[in-house]
Amino acid sequence: MAENDKKIVFSGVQPSGNLTLGNYLGAIKNFSRFSEDYKTFYCVVDLHAITVRQVPAELRKRTYETLALYMACGLDPEKNTLFVQSHVPQHAELGWILDCYTMFGELSRMTQFKDKSAKNAQNINAGLFTYPALMAADILLYQTDIVPVGIDQKQHLELARDVAARFNLIYSDTFKIPEGYIPTDTMKIMSLQEPTAKMSKSDPNENAVIRILDSKDDVMRKFKRAVTDSETSVRYSEDKPGVSNLMTIYRAFTGKTFEEIEREFDGKGYGDFKLAVGEACADGLKDVRDEFARLMQDKAYLEAVMKKGAEEAYGYARRTMSKVRRKIGFVN
Ligand code: TYM
Q: Is 307 a catalytic residue?
A: no
Average pLDDT over residues 4-8: 92
Annotated catalytic residue: which of 39, 198, 240, 274?
198
Residues 73 and 106 reside in one and the same domain: yes
Residue 68 lies in a domain: yes
Instruction: Report the C-alpha gap between 166 and 155 in whole angstroms.
Output: 17
Q: In terms of C-beta density within 10 A (0-12 exposed, 13-18 middle, 19 or more buried), how is residue 176 classed? A: middle
Protein residue with least CA distance to atom 18, ligand 1? 23
Residues 242 and 288 reside in one and the same domain: yes
Shortest-distance atom of ligand 1 to CA 149: 22
Q: How far is residue 324 CA from its own chain's centroid?
A: 27
pLDDT above 90: residue 2: no
195-247 pLDDT tens trace: 999 999 989 999 999 999 999 999 999 999 999 999 999 999 999 999 999 99
149-179 pLDDT tens trace: 999 999 999 999 999 999 999 999 999 999 9
- Kindly list the protein residues whose Cβ atom lies closer than 6 A to any atom of ligand 1: 10-14, 22-23, 26-27, 45, 48, 135, 138-139, 147, 149-150, 152-153, 156, 187-189, 198-199
Q: Is 198 a catalytic residue?
A: yes
Number of domains the chain contains = 2
CATH number of the domain at 239, please.
1.10.240.10
Residue 194 lies in a domain: no
Range of the domain at 279: 206-293
Residues 9 and 56 reside in one and the same domain: yes
174-183 pLDDT tens trace: 999 999 999 9
Determine which helix (DSSP H) or strand (DSSP E) holds 319, and give its type and residue range: helix 299-328
Residues 149 and 164 reside in one and the same domain: yes
* DSSP-derived pairing of the beta strands 179-181 and 81-84: unpaired
Instruction: Report the C-alpha gap between 166 and 172 in whole angstroms.
Output: 10
